[in-house]
């Protein structure tokens, strides 16, 4: 008997700069809706943004089945999970607090669209909130199909921007692994303004200068800023200036050991 599997074609719409196929995205990045000619599942608009000042309707969205078969569709607002390198993925185990959709599960025939309302039921703690709208579509007969079954996952962006933006960063202890040094930085503010800045790492062999990569950090989350690679064992000093929202938010001058 053939073992049945599931292949989820993931169109993640939260990437910085365009559309991507995959499971990771840059936090708060530009969202791009899938095109009708591409088939599968689509979400329009792919970005839902409003200032977090009042409850009510956040956005009206349209989910469309562009495939040739009926789909069972689920829609859920999700929290983001953010990795140390800054990439984010929807947390499928946790809904985004205070946000709901008018209908979370339904069936769509081929070529049919359904309009939904995304609602803000409670203002987010900290004055801002950032999450995803996850739309999953599976064939209605998935339970009886054999072999690999193709499903679709489309992820849009939810941004509840603060009325009173507040930036803030804190630095952790520099970490080294196999000659690579990183600086953990936590976002203590309520914006996702991209980080920038300068890095200078001094060792016995000289000084290396580089720039802070343009990383967006979710409030309350920590990412690792890469400082240098291929460092020899011994003592080193890092001078790092980090800007957020165009203003200096963090400056450190720390010694560390490369083992």
Residues 125 and 246 in one domain: no
Q: What is the mean pLDDT of the segment spanning 76-95?
A: 95
In this structure, the strands spanning 222-228 and 180-187 are: antiparallel
Q: Is residue 140 located within the same domain as residue 182?
A: no
Q: Which of 140, 161, 182 is the last residue of a domain?
A: 161
What is the pTM assigned to this prediction?
0.82
Tell me whether residue 1 is in a domain. no
> Which of 161, 185, 205 corresponds to the end of one domain?
161
pLDDT tens digits for 242-258? 999 889 999 999 999 99
Assess whether pLDDT exceeds 90 at residue 4: no
Same-domain check for residues 184 and 140: no
Q: Looking at the structure, tell me whether residues 129 and 107 fall in a common domain.
A: yes
85 and 14 in a common domain: yes
Q: What is the mean pLDDT of residues 212-221?
A: 96
Q: In what order do the strands lie in the sheet with 195-203?
A: 206-211, 195-203, 234-244, 247-258
Q: Are residues 127 and 65 in the same domain?
A: yes
178 CB-near residues (< 8 Å, 6+ apart): none
- What pLDDT is recorded for position 6? 42
98 and 194 both lie in a single domain: no
User: Tokens for 23?
Assistant: 């499971």
One domain, residues 57 and 22: yes
* pLDDT attached to residue 39: 67
The domain boundary, picked from 114, 141, 161, lies at 161
- Of 199, 163, 197, nearest to 181 by C-alpha is 199
User: What's the mean pLDDT when you consider all of the chain?
Assistant: 86
- The percentage of the chain sitting over the pLDDT mark of 90, rounded to a whole number, equals 78
Beta-carbon contacts of 166 under 8 Å, excluding residues fewer than 6 positions away, are 127, 189, 190, 191
83: containing domain: 7-161
111 & 232 share domain? no
CATH classification of the domain holding 75: 2.60.40.10
Residue 12 has pLDDT above 50, yes or no: no
pLDDT digits (tens, 9 = 90+) for 93-151: 999 999 999 999 999 999 999 999 999 999 998 899 999 999 999 999 988 888 888 88
């Amino acid at each position: 008997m053939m073992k049945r599997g599931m292949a989820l074609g993931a169109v993640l719409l939260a990437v910085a700069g365009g559309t991507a196929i995959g499971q990771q995205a840059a936090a708060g990045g530009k969202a791009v809706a899938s095109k009708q000619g591409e088939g599968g599942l689509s979400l329009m608009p792919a970005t839902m943004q409003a200032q977090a000042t009042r409850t009510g309707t956040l956005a009206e969205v349209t989910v469309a089945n562009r495939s040739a078969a009926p789909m069972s569709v689920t829609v859920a607002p999700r929290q983001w999970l953010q990795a140390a390198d800054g990439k984010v993925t929807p947390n499928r185990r946790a809904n985004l607090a205070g946000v709901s959709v008018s209908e979370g599960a339904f069936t769509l025939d081929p070529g049919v669209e359904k309009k939904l309302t995304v609602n803000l039921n409670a203002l987010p703690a900290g004055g801002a909130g950032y999450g995803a709208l996850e739309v999953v579509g599976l064939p209605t007969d998935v339970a009886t199909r054999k072999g690999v079954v193709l499903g679709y996952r489309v992820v849009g962006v939810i941004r509840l921007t603060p009325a009173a933006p507040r930036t803030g960063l804190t630095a952790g202890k520099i970490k080294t692994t196999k000659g690579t040094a990183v600086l953990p930085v936590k976002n203590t503010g309520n914006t996702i303004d991209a980080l920038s800045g300068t890095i200078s790492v001094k060792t016995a062999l000289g000084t290396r200068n580089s720039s802070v990569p343009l990383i967006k950090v979710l409030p309350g989350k920590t990412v690792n800023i890469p400082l240098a690679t291929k460092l020899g064992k011994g003592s080193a000093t890092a001078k790092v200036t980090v800007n957020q929202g165009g203003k200096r938010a963090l400056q450190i001058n720390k010694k560390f050991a490369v083992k």
